[in-house]
Amino acid sequence: MVFGWAGKDIEVDLTQGTVERVSHDRDLYESCLGGKGVATKILWDRVTPDVTPFSPDNLLVIGAGTLDGTIVPGANRTSIAFKSPLTGFFGLSVLGGYFGPELKNAGYDTIVISGKSPTPVYLWITNDTVELRDAGHLWGKDTQETQTILRNELNPRAQMLCIGPAGEHKVLAASIEHSMGISASRRGSGTVMGDKQLKAVAVYGAKDLRMARPAELFDLCRQIDGRRDYLAEHWKTFPILDPTYHLPMGAYGNFRDDAPPLVYEVLEHAEELGRSMKPLMVRRVGCYNCSMQCKQVQLTADGRYCGLKCSAHTRPMIAAQVFDGDFNMEFYNLCEKWGMDSLSVEAVVALMVDLYEKDILTKADTDGMHLEFGNAEVALTLVRKMAFREGLIGDLMGDGAFRAVRRIGKGAERYAVTTKKLECRHDYLFSPGDALAEAISDCADHHKYHSEVMMPPYFPWTQEKRHEYLKSGFWQHPRELEEYFPNRDGRGDPEALCQWTNYIDECHGLRDSIGLCAWVSEWLEYPPISGVGMFAQLVSHSTGMDVDEAGIRVIAQRIQTLVRCYNIREGLTRADDRIPEFHFEMKPAKYLKGFYGESYDTLDRDVFDRWVQRFYELKGWDKEGVPTNETLERLGLGYVGRTIQREGVVPAES
């Protein structure tokens, strides 16, 4: 009998138009858990280096987390993995909401989608019925229209993933949208789905999940609920609508002291701007089985609703230099409606305007448009052109910042802010913790780590408060990390920095595999679910696996190392573990340093390289970032080492 997991997977071949329900491989799930872990192993086995992102053999693997659909608070994450058309490496997009739990309730853990359909289709899953259906009437529709039509056709309670025009036009920043304010956005997940002519995946389920030790799981979840009070109270006042909190989180360009004066003007009037934005909020909403309600629903000027979370409240304003709440919502709503990663869109829009103002782009490149910051119409027009690859400028933007500047030439390359070809949140990267996390992240996205918040050594606390925290019951981290917490300042301690970055890397590999949201399992200072030891308990009570803290850390290391080897097989080298060069060459703007603290300053390249090297050592990788044979054998990945050695990626002796 299967506990915790649903026990079945779905294999879809779009070329042949076939679907198959298969029993899942118990050994695979016990060794990789689910979500990201299982998807990574499937990609390693079946998406080899000769498979291009737009090949029919590229896979789209949609995996529910191990704990999805259970009573565990905040367990609702779905991982979508693929070879990324934007980066060329392992692609992962993770979303919350309701899809993963609904998939588990329909009786399935993972959907593996291969091939390309000759005509647009969608996948409909309802318990034991799985079928491909014609989507001709949906092709060309935006994501909001698509979901409305399918719910009317299928079931009002169906949960779905779908793409918009950006995915259909293979914009490299295309996302897969789930519901208002919830999407799998990064690295081109929607691009792959559009290339396969798969418009949507809809699911409705009414099956029960069996727990191995339901009484123990219930007791642990009750403890977790009891630990939630502090975080819930903190969340009521968390400054998600306070521009003084979010305005420094610029998407592009405003990291220098020569930033446009308007930034400083708005910072001076941030309280006034905050008051003008708050009436736009209608209510807060949360994902499946989560009472934190971190997302806010806001009402647009023309009566539509828009779901915003965290710094999405202000990032579009900074990218366009248009400081107006209604504009911000319209920008974000268009990204969601047409199916694009808003973070990448912000960066690319700002990049185009910046290049135009530097005379690198001319009206011949912009379809006759005059580009300028501070112009709402210009910014929103660029969003539309990007979504539909409209004209020369839209086609350039559709290729993403990394490729666009190489097409443009004329020195444009130095102005694209990317890591591993992905547009990144550069403003954080003057911070040591975030800089290291960005460089080594397998997804080239430090926001998955956000170590300034998540690493206890980085909390701006007194030693007295640190000692109190150790005794509070919220410290659930491995004992060997205690020495890097109570008496040390993480900002000035490189060993603490590397030890915690390594540990947080393991935590995120686990979260994305078991389906836990970071907001309730580490993001803030007193999380109700804290540390891999608690992760192990939740997995054990749900699935019946006898796994403890040490055992689940081995699984985490296996998952993260397998992703590393996948990327190495795709050509990743030590040189790719970097951040944009300007962080070593200039100082951050004064307002950023004032906001984030004195550690926010120009980084030293040699010191940074030593951090990366120490991280490699802690991982059991060699000086080039390649996992050693000893590490691979210890993690049960000996076959991986033999494969990359046979293909000439690394020497036989590592």
Burial 62-95 (b: 16+ CB within 10 A, else e): bbbbbbbbbbbbbbbbbbbbbbbbbbbbbbbbbb
Both tokens of 71, joined, read 């009573």
DSSP bridge pairs for 95: 78
Q: Are residues 632 and 485 in the same domain?
A: yes
Tell me, yes or no, whether 221 lies in a domain: no
Look at residues 136, 170, 204 and tell me which one is the last residue of a structural domain: 204
pLDDT along the chain (654 residues), means of 10: 96 98 96 98 96 98 98 96 96 96 98 98 98 98 97 97 98 96 92 98 97 98 84 59 52 45 52 66 84 79 77 80 84 94 93 94 96 95 98 97 96 90 78 84 62 50 78 83 68 80 91 91 78 95 96 98 96 92 74 56 88 96 95 95 75 46
Terminal-residue alpha carbon distance, the chain? 42
Least Cα distance to 418 among 228, 634, 650, 186 occurs for 186
Number of domains in the chain: 3
Tell me, yes or no, whether 2 lies in a domain: no
Q: Are residues 488 and 613 in the same domain?
A: yes
CATH number of residue 443's parent domain: 1.10.599.10
Look at residues 423, 457, 484 and tell me which one is the last residue of a structural domain: 423
Q: Residue 516 carries which DSSP code?
A: B
pLDDT on residue 467: 81
Q: Are residues 412 and 453 in the same domain?
A: no
Q: Are residues 256 and 403 in the same domain?
A: yes
Q: Are residues 412 and 437 in the same domain?
A: no
Look at residues 423, 447, 465 and tell me which one is the last residue of a structural domain: 423
User: Are the C-beta atoms of residues 67 and 123 closer than 8 Å to each other?
Assistant: no
- Find where tokens 């209604």 sit: 326
For residues 576 and 274, give the distance between their C-alpha atoms in angstroms, rounded to a whole number.
39
pLDDT on residue 254: 43
pLDDT on residue 596: 54
Q: Are residues 451 and 404 in the same domain?
A: no
pLDDT on residue 490: 45
Tell me, yes or no, whether 362 lies in a domain: yes
Q: Are residues 491 and 556 in the same domain?
A: yes
Domain containing 498 equals 431-646
Q: Are strands 90-95 and 110-114 parallel, antiparallel or unpaired?
A: unpaired
pLDDT on residue 62: 98
CATH number of residue 270's parent domain: 1.10.569.10
Q: Are residues 413 and 435 in the same domain?
A: no
CATH number of residue 144's parent domain: 3.60.9.10
For residues 587 and 579, give the distance between their C-alpha atoms in angstroms, rounded to a whole number.
15
Tell me, yes or no, whether 17 lies in a domain: yes
Determine the angle formed by the axes of helices 342-357 and 391-398, rounding to 10 degrees. Answer: 130
pLDDT on residue 595: 53
Tell me, yes or no, whether 149 lies in a domain: yes
For residues 615 and 68, give the distance between their C-alpha atoms in angstroms, rounded to a whole number.
31
- Find where tokens 């997302």 sit: 295
Tell me, yes or no, whether 217 lies in a domain: no
Q: Are residues 89 and 30 in the same domain?
A: yes
Tell me, yes or no, whether 210 lies in a domain: no
DSSP letters for 442-480: TTS-GGGT-HHHH-GGGS---HHHHHHHHHSS---S-GG
Q: Which helix (H) or strand (E) holds 218?
A: helix 214-226
Q: Are residues 574 and 507 in the same domain?
A: yes
Q: Are residues 435 and 416 in the same domain?
A: no
Tell me, yes or no, whether 631 lies in a domain: yes
Q: Are residues 372 and 477 in the same domain?
A: no
Least Cα distance to 112 among 157, 62, 72 occurs for 62
- Cβ burial of 303 (10 Å; 0-12, 13-18, 19+) is exposed
Q: Which amino acid is at 278?
A: K
